[in-house]
Amino acid sequence: MTNSMSRRELLAGAAFAATAPAGPDFAPVDYHCHLNRVITLDKALEISRQRGVKFGIVEHAGLRKDHARYAGLLADDAGLQRFLAMLEGKPVFKGIQAEGLNWMGCFSKEMIAKLDYVLTDALTIPGPGGKLIHIWTAESEEVIADKQKFMDRYTDFHVEIMATEPIDIIANPTLLPEKLMPEFDSLWTETRMRKIVDAGVKFKVAFEINSRYRLPKTPFLKMAKAAGARFSFGSNIQDLNIGNIDFSIETAKALGLAGRNMFAPAPAGKKPVEVRKG
* Burial of residue 199 (number of CB atoms within 10 Å: 0-12, 13-18, 19+): buried
CATH of domain 26-275: 3.20.20.140
- pLDDT at residue 66, rounded to an integer: 66
Residue 150: exposure state from Cβ atoms within 10 A (0-12, 13-18, ≥19): buried
HSE-CB at 89 with a 13 A cutoff on CA atoms is 9
pTM over 0.85: yes
Other beta carbons within 10 angstroms of residue 89's beta carbon come to 12
Which pLDDT does position 278 carry in this prediction?
A: 54
Give bridge partners of residue 208 from the DSSP assignment. 232
Mean pLDDT per block of 10 residues along the chain (278 residues) reads 41 42 70 96 97 97 74 91 98 95 93 98 88 88 93 97 97 96 97 98 98 97 98 95 96 95 97 88
Phi, psi of 8 (to 5 degrees): -65, -40
Question: What is the pLDDT, as a whole number, of residue 127?
Answer: 82
Residue spans of the domains in the chain: they are: 26-275
| 147: phi then psi, degrees, rounded to nearest 5 | -60, -45
DSSP track, 118-171: EEE-S-EEE-GGG-EEETTSGGGGGT-SSHHHHHHHHHHHHHHHHHHS--SEE-
